[in-house]
Amino acid sequence: MKQLVWIASRLLFSKRTLFGGSAVFSLTGLVLGVGALVASMAVVSGFEASLRSAMADVTGHVQIIKRPMLSDPWQELENGIRKTEPTLVASVRFLRTEAVLAHQGVVSGVMIQGVDEIRAPEVLNFSSRLVSGELNLKPNGEKTPALIGKRIASRLGLKVGDLFRVVMPVPDAIDPGRFERRIVEFQVRGVLDLGKNDWNERMIITTLEAAQKLVQVGDRYSGLLLKFEDVNYARTAAFHLSQNLGPGYLVYDWRELNENLFEAVKIERVVIFLVILIIVIVASFNVASTLFVNVVQRYADIAILKTLGLTEKSILKMFSFQGLFMGAIGLIFGTLFGFVLCVLFTIIQATMGVLSGSVYRIDSIQPELRFVDWIAIAAVTMLISFFATLAPALRGSRLNPVEGLKYG
């Protein structure tokens, strides 16, 4: 076997074969196909990972919501959750409501998420999403602290330290047709990139006490945001908690809140893989034609090898090895080219902003090639290369030594 591999490599890596004729173009096509496949899978995986990270960082791994609002001590609820799911890391109380932001004549609908500022860092990860300012949500006198999405800041011209007002329309207790205005003034402590375009456009993070004051619900809260040891375990944990807590609680994991989007990404991954795979298949035909020409050019060499005792099966293996060599070269350099494309994508994305947040939900993707995806790419590339070389390999193995010496 070692001798066959050595002979195959010597015949392939020669000026007459690999470094001459159409072999270079055949390999280039294979490299381009594999590179495009690697880059596309990395971008799709990066999109999914970016969305998952945003969900887990901003809203926790699992959300537990109670209707009507909870007034019980949160420690009792957390202890009950921990008995069901011992992998619970921490929980934090939250209250979510909608209001109207008014600043310098501009009015915009916003979503306010109030969290317990002491326990929030144990569950939520705002530190990696800070664009400017600080994450300090401790009240300072009458100024209520707030963290805002970066698009709110750019659209309204808000900077760290600026003040803005949030208005909560409240129906009049006597005449439901009339509304009272409840106004709270906030101070920008930090600007965040929350990972999702609609959150960057609308979300304001503040203290739980400030949100309760705005809604005027006393010490009640919407529910708990949970963090587990493994983000991928969130769906299983949410299922168990939903069964144990009963119908009075709504339990959502990070994926369920964007189920349609994640399912679309799952389908698009398969479609993109199959479409770009056509490039690899076309390139493999070029490899096959190159090896077919190589067989014709090597009639004399094949005849000599047969007269020295090599069987048809050995010749078949030898030329099959050549096809696998070319497939491996295309795979290695194609993977490197795919990484180069990912780097270029990242640079273009940062400088030109090629993604529209209103269309893709996120405006920044960090390409991420999963090992499973690369294994699939490698397996398919080598398999296609192997089958593409069978025809020229069979032709070479069936050559009559006398005919080879005559025409060689």
DSSP letter string over 26-75? HHHHHHHHHHHHHHHHHHHHHHHHHHHHHHHHHH-SEEEEEEEEE-S-HH
Confidence of residue 173 (pLDDT cuts 50, 70, 90): low
Whether 302 is in a domain gets the answer: yes
φ, ψ of residue 407 in degrees (nearest 5): -95, -5
Interval 297-354: pLDDT, tens: 665 566 666 565 666 666 667 767 777 777 888 889 999 999 999 888 888 877 766 5
Q: What is the mean pLDDT of the chain?
A: 79
Is the pLDDT at 375 greater than 80, yes or no?
yes
**Closest of 264, 229, 212 to residue 48, by C-alpha:** 264
Residues 23 and 94 in one domain: no
φ, ψ of residue 65 in degrees (nearest 5): -120, 140
Residues 49 and 94 in one domain: no
Residues 304 and 356 in one domain: yes
Q: What Å distances lie between residue 15 and 18, 20, 21, 74, 176, CA to CA?
A: 6, 5, 9, 75, 88
* pLDDT above 70 as % of the chain: 77
Residues 218 and 280 in one domain: no
Residues 7 and 145 in one domain: no
Whether 68 is in a domain gets the answer: no
* Helix (H), strand (E) at residue 239: helix 234-245
The residue that leads in pLDDT, 138 or 229, is 229
pTM of the model: 0.74
Strand partners, 164: 186
Winning range, highest mean pLDDT, from 231-240, 363-372, 380-389: 231-240
Domain final position from 225, 244, 277: 225
Whether 45 is in a domain gets the answer: yes
Whether 232 is in a domain gets the answer: no
Whether 322 is in a domain gets the answer: yes
Whether 397 is in a domain gets the answer: yes
What is the model's pLDDT at position 56? 86
Domain count for the chain, please give it.
2
What is the model's pLDDT at position 296? 60
Other Cβ atoms within 10 Å of 27 Cβ, number: 21
Residues 266 and 399 in one domain: yes
CB 199 within 8 Å of CB 149: yes
Residues 291 and 394 in one domain: yes
Winning range, highest mean pLDDT, from 208-212, 281-285, 304-308, 362-366: 208-212
**Closest of 202, 245, 204 to residue 226, by C-alpha:** 245
What is the model's pLDDT at position 273? 87
CB 98 within 8 Å of CB 70: no
Strand partners, 183: 167
Residues 148 and 210 in one domain: yes
Residues 275 and 393 in one domain: yes
Domain span at 159 = 90-225
Residues 284 and 176 in one domain: no
Whether 191 is in a domain gets the answer: yes
Residues 6+ apart with CB under 8 A from 308: none
CA dihedral 224, 230, 235, 240 (to 10 degrees): -70
Interval 179-238: pLDDT, tens: 677 788 888 999 998 888 888 888 999 998 888 888 888 888 888 999 998 888 888 888
CA dihedral 114, 122, 136, 71 (to 10 degrees): 30
The residue that leads in pLDDT, 148 or 319, is 148
The Cα–Cα gap between 58 and 53 comes to 8
Confidence of residue 407 (pLDDT cuts 50, 70, 90): very low
Residues 218 and 297 in one domain: no
The Cα–Cα gap between 388 and 320 comes to 9
For 394, the 3-state DSSP assignment is helix
Residues 114 and 198 in one domain: yes
Residues 6+ apart with CB under 8 A from 21: 290, 293
Interval 45-104: pLDDT, tens: 888 888 888 888 888 899 988 877 777 778 888 888 888 888 999 999 999 888 888 877
Residues 6+ apart with CB under 8 A from 82: 88
Max CA-CA distance within the chain? 109
Q: Which amino acid is at 327?
A: G
Please give, one letter per residue, the 3-state secondary structure of 252-314: EECCHHHHHHHHHHHHHHHHHHHHHHHHHHHHHHHHHHHHHHHHHHCHHHHHHHHHCCCCHHH
Pairing of strands 106-115, 203-207: parallel
Whether 69 is in a domain gets the answer: no
